[in-house]
Structure 1
């Protein structure tokens, strides 16, 4: 990917974050925000609409209802940030665990950063994650089958649900489209939310690694409430007030910190000064 393509990808990711937060964007305002021409913004919105991320309207765009950005697209967005989250999240994966690894580009980063030598059973419904882990002699890999949804990038149909019902993971690492204080973890697509909800319910604990633009972003369908069985791995720039409120729900909050290219993490509890 060229440097120009990298900037375009980041700009479109930020536009999508605004769509998630506000439900609509205006081309004129976006042009001023990013210091580009309105023609450039309109081109961004046309490309995003072609991928199903928004619906074009006069002067801007609306968030497409019941849709999500395809996994293949998300895999190329914000790789450094997701790698930092992924490395921090792996500290919660312990030797001998049965882990369900849900669909998501950040979850793919988690798979890539698993410590060498850990003896694990990894269950996933996501071919891209399975391909990353295949051939690792320390990992017993179980791939849940069924029809692969082209946007989610994973099997979420009734066949997949029947297989998931038979598994009781120690940890569910769930991918989410949004996180709000009143609704908890959310997803854009109903069938995906149903599958994710079951994965959380059948697991002893749940973890979600969440990029900052998803904090406070509402998605249509609830996946899991905020509780003491939930661990949230957040970015270093996550809103400080929201972190404090999230900690009050009983959820364990960790912030991933990137220091000179080396990822680490720090725990935040409601008693810790923010």
Structure 2
């Protein structure tokens, strides 16, 4: 089998099965495990999949820039934002992450809500600039242009001074085995710090994020209180999280 044919077959299997286990596949196809691993490494370099221990998972489509991501699942994100915003109670301190779905949370906060919103996202802060009764605390730092959020030492220092009631976390990828992952190491560190400083972490997961993986870990699934997804998502994708005791909110 030619290299091109092998790679096309691997991508076909990944689309159909949702994962590749190198050892199992080598036995099934009669190919050496080293050959399959080499092909997977090359496909990962092309951004066509994400290498994980023992095999591969689908790569997240949410690795593009902010403008590109605004076009992905654009019709799904307002519902997630509305469902998440309904979780906020008057008087709470709320941390809203960066990202296109997180902006929708800010956009759907009730106009009469009195609360404090902390964010390291200029996009979220601007969205709330005209909100009459929400106090906005803007955290600075070096601008990570991919997600339009602050990162770095100054950001981490500011996060350490805050205790939030709830953290609405945007994600790049969500998978029951790989966990919550992102494409940038430093952004992962910031998300982890915010989660540790919050009583509850609620994950905002539009459909394209489910069952995909990215290179860097953020927070363990054990630290997640709830996941907000769109109604109509295949229950088989959600069952593993329910089994972990994570609440699932279906956004309509």
> Is the pair's TM-score, using the shorter chain for normalization, greater than 0.5?
yes
1:197 matched residue in structure 2: 192
2:152 is matched with which residue: 137, 146, 157?
Answer: 157
Instruction: State the 1:228 CA deviation.
Output: 6.9
Give the Cα–Cα distance (whole angstroms) in 2 for the partners of residues 110 and 235 of structure 1.
Answer: 14
TM-score w.r.t. the length of structure 1 is: 0.68
Matches within 5 A, 1:82-231: 82-227=77-222, 229-231=224-226
1:187-225 Cα offsets, whole Å, 9 max, x none, are 111000000011111100001110122111011112122
Aligned residues: 204
Structure 2 residue runs without a partner (length 5+) = 1-14, 21-43, 52-58
Contact kept, 8 Å, 1:125 with 1:155, in 2: the verdict is yes
TM-score w.r.t. the length of structure 2 is: 0.74
| More off after superposition, 231-240 vs 138-147 | 231-240
Contact kept, 8 Å, 1:212 with 1:237, in 2: the verdict is no
Instruction: State the 1:183 CA deviation.
Output: 3.4
| More off after superposition, 98-107 vs 62-71 | 62-71
Larger radius of gyration: 2
1:264 matched residue in structure 2: none
Kindly indicate whether structure 1 or structure 2 has the higher relative contact order, using CA contacts under 8 Å at least 6 residues apart.
Answer: 2
2:236 matched residue in structure 1: 241
Matches within 5 A, 1:16-35: none
